[in-house]
Every structure is written in structure tokens, then in C-alpha cells.
Amino acid sequence: MISIQRVEKSFDDFKAVNAVSLDIAERQVFGLIGTNGAGKSTLLRMLCGVLTPDGGEIYIDEGKVYDNPLVKRNIFFISDEPFFFRNGNAEDMKNYYRSIYEDFDAARFDTLLSDFGLEKSRRISNFSKGMRKQLSVILGICSRTKYLVCDETFDGLDPVMRQAVKSIFANDMVERGLTPIIASHNLRELEDICDHIGLLHQGGVVLSEDLDSMKLGLQKVQAVFRGEEEIAALRERLSILSENRVGKLCTFTVRNNRRAVEEVFRGLDTVFYEILPLTLEEIFISETEGVGYDVRKFILN
């Protein structure tokens, strides 16, 4: 288990991470969401012991991570801009990580390299961005660490490769208890893989919840009402986060459980109503608007 306790980090006068506390359970995919500048990369670098916090503590399996080689053996960090040797090739990187991670699976590395169509002897400097990301994932998986920390790992991968990487993660979670921690601003990439979501905003935590629980507490409802008084009654009885109207069709996002929403609508005079599933994108918008986040400035990829 990873425990992040009131961690802070500043660069000059800019506070990148502000009193963040999170718990990351084992054998789950933890998704860390936030826009550029929210503090995701800084938090991950502290989690991996690359940066030291200005305040607070980070524990991995009850051991402090910074300047602790024994703890770091259980972590592999896939940076947004991965490190490779100048003029090095995939074989060079394999040999390097074999010297650091004693359980490195060299045979699997060779197999995955072939499966992904990457040449062992080709200079990495001649790889595309997507190929470098693929190589980073292969190195991370084959290091066989307990925790795999990924910073924008899916950025630069085509859809087929994204699904291949997700499949590898899922397989290793089942077979050896891998815990992936994935930071991304792309909500759609995380929705089908994450069990738990942490949402960062301006260096602080807005929420940290199981994805299923988040969806249970928020509902999206479309309805056509027979009269305006019915809409007024609805506003009084439900906690409405957003409301949109196109002609007679009304769409609401409400912070209530499904049973409560159904009970309210059964007492209203409607032509029809339907409770629809919320996407992770819609949850993100609902939660961040509550803390003054300007979603119009956020580009959803």
C-alpha cells in the first residue's frame, strides 16, 4: 500500500503540490487526473523518490521512499519523457535495468520487443515518440516491480497499442499483483481501466474515490415535463449540479443516488424520464466546477 500524507512541494514561489493526502491500495489501477499544472508529475516524482517533499511523508509498504533503495526496488517510473542512453538501443536499456532490478525478465523483454515490432539493435534516438513509449512500458513491465508509476504513458500511442498496454497491465495484475498508478489528463483513456480515481486541482486533492462509488453518487437524467411547475418541484427535491435544456428536453446532473432520483421522478408529471450512465468526463466536470474550475479552458482529448 502507498500512503501519501500531507505532502507539499514548491518551486520558488509556486506551490506545485499543496498538502496532498492519498492512499493507494494494492492490486488496483489508480488513476490520477488533472490538467497540465495540477501537480500530477511533481507528485509522481516525489512518490518515486526522484524529488524530496518540502513537507509531509510518503510511505510505500510502510517504508519511506526518498533515499531508500530497498523501497525503490518495488517501483518503476515511466516518465512523460523517458530516459534513454544517448546513442543507445533497446538491448543497452535492457542490460541497464537488469543491473538495477534483480527480477528483471530478460526473456519476456525480448518477446514483447518482438511482439511490438521494435528492433533490438536500432538506436532509440531514431524511434518515434510512440515507439519510445512502447519501449518504456516494456522495460517497466519486465522489471517486475510491485508498483508501476506511469506519467502520461498512453500519450503518443495509437489506439491498438493503448489496448495492448492495458491488456498487459491487466494480465500482470492477475498473475503477480501489479499495482499501476497512471496519471493522465485524458479522461477517456482511464475510464475503462481504473478502479480508483484521484483528482488534482491547483496542487490539491479535489476527490479520491472508487470509480464505481463516484458513479453511484451522481446521476444524469433526461426528461420531458408536462409543466414548468414540475421542473420547479424537481429543483427543490434534488441536488442539481448542472441543467441543460433543448426545446422541451431537459438534462440534469444531480448528486443523489439512483433510488432517490427514481422516487422523486415517480411523483412528477412527466412525458418520460430516463437515467443515463455518466462518463468519467462528466464526473470530472461536475466535481471541478464545484471548486471554481473553468472547464471551458480544458480541452478533452
The residue with greater pLDDT, 201 or 133, is 133
Quick one: pLDDT band at residue 291, thresholds 50, 70, 90? low
To the nearest whole number, what is the mean pLDDT of the chain?
89
Q: What one-character DSSP code corresponds to residue 120?
A: S
Is there a shared CATH topology between the 2-209 domain and the 219-277 domain?
no
- Cα angle, residue 126 at apex, residues 123 and 129 outer, rounded to 5°: 120
Residue 300 has pLDDT above 50, yes or no: no
| All structural domains of the chain with their residue ranges | 2-209, 219-277
| pTM as predicted | 0.83
Cβ–Cβ under 8 Å, residues 20 and 39: yes
pLDDT surpassing 70 at residue 273 = yes
Quick: pLDDT tens for 72-97.
Answer: 999 999 998 888 998 999 999 999 99
Query: What pLDDT does residue 58 have?
Result: 94
Predicted pLDDT at 36: 75
Cβ atoms of 242 and 78 within 8 Å: the answer is no
So what's the architecture of 219-277 in CATH?
Answer: 2-Layer Sandwich (3.30)
pLDDT, tens digit, 9 for 90 and up, residues 205-237: 877 888 877 777 889 999 999 999 999 999 999
Q: What is the DSSP string of 221-287?
A: EEEEESSHHHHHHHHHHS-EEEEEEETTEEEEEESS-HHHHHHHHHTS-EEEEEEEPPPHHHHHHHH
What value does the mean pLDDT take over residues 139-164? 91
pLDDT tens, position by position, 19-54: 999 999 999 999 998 777 788 999 999 999 999 999
Provide the pLDDT confidence category of residue 292 given band limits of 50, 70 and 90.
low
Angstrom distance (rounded) from CA 150 to CA 181:
6
Query: What pLDDT does 301 receive?
Result: 44
Identify the H or E element spanning 56.
strand 55-60
Q: 297 pLDDT exceeds 60?
A: no
CATH superfamily of the 2-209 domain: P-loop containing nucleotide triphosphate hydrolases (3.40.50.300)
State the pLDDT confidence band at 287, using cuts at 50, 70 and 90: low
